[in-house]
Amino acid sequence: MSQTHADMARHERHGPGTSEYTLAIITDEDHASQVELEDGQTAWQSTLRYDKLYRETDPATGRISYRLEEIPADQGGEHQLISLIAEGGRGAEFSELVQFGQRLVTFDDRTGLVCEIRHENQLVPRHILMTGSGDEKFKGFKSEWATIKDDHLIVGSHGKRPEEEWIKILDRDYGLRSIDWRENYQRMRDALGVGPDGYVIHEAAEWHPYRREWLFFPRKISTEPFDEPVDERERGANTLIIASEDFSNIRTLKVGERIPERGISSFKIIPGYPNECVGLKSVEIGDRTEAWLFCFNLDGEVLQEDTLIGRYKCEGVEIL
């Protein structure tokens, strides 16, 4: 009997009649993540929160919409994750969440650490991904997006510099391969028309197992060279990239209104409704950080307007 691929199983864990989902959302608080434990030990902390997402159909028009409901912290809606592993004095900067079989996996974009989350607040390190091919530098991979394709966990980075154009492929036993994806990143830049001076920053991607297509939702798109203050305020994007499996055919789709200071940091296809997605948008302007949640479909319609979920940065969402 053939075994269902992990990507299909992930999308079929809820059926087309589902109207209530539990979301897991993880924070990446950069420098603010450092804490001191009761025994005086320095550690790094991230918050894992749970929320309810409801899918609703208007009885008069048939229009689909989504509604977020927060689970209060005292009812199990918030948990602290503690990491003792850092690089350059920073750690627990978790940038994505993926359900890989029975495991909820997260990725530290500072250290390259891959961790399973167990019992809601236990981090179990499983791998350390290194930058680029993994052979050049003693530096953790800047993991920014992750998805399941067939039976593999694919982890990628910003794609802004050559060492961030590699992807990491992990199998069910965490066996690792590193693949240079520069041609695929370049094809996406070409499709967006950013030109030789511009850049694209990726933090959100999904493999669509039914369509056999890649969905990339860049956080930032610019036709001009990187300038941090301008990037923070002006470069947030609302263009979804839809690419064939080999990236030979790419089209783009505008989703909702572009809000220049907000950019996509994570999104997931909603199990049971493969044309619908839930996503996070992040704001980082100086010391000001915000996280917004929204829902949309793959025809470009917004199904839930941006909803503020916290004045901190969240960079990973998954549907449990």
Burial class of residue 315 (count of CB atoms within 10 Å of its CB; 0-12, 13-18, 19+): buried
Strand 273-285 with 314-319, pairing: unpaired
How far is 240 from 245, CA to CA, in rounded Å?
A: 16
The pTM of this model reads 0.96
Taking the chain (320 residues) in consecutive chunks of 10 residues, what is each chunk's mean pLDDT?
79 94 90 87 94 97 97 94 93 94 95 95 96 95 97 97 97 97 98 97 98 98 98 98 98 98 98 98 96 98 97 94
User: Please, what are the domains in the chain?
Assistant: 6-319 (2.120.10.100)
Concatenated DSSP letters of 245-312: TTSSSEEEEE-S---TT-EEEEEEEETTEEEEEEEEEEEEETTEEEEEEEEEETTS-EEEEEEEEESS
CA separation for the pair 84, 202 (Å, rounded): 28
Residue 230: predicted pLDDT: 98
User: What are 216's strand-pairing partners?
Assistant: 205, 241
Distance, in Å, from the CA atom of 10 to the CA atom of 222, rounded to the nearest integer, reads 34
Q: Which residue has tokens 């499983």? A: 126
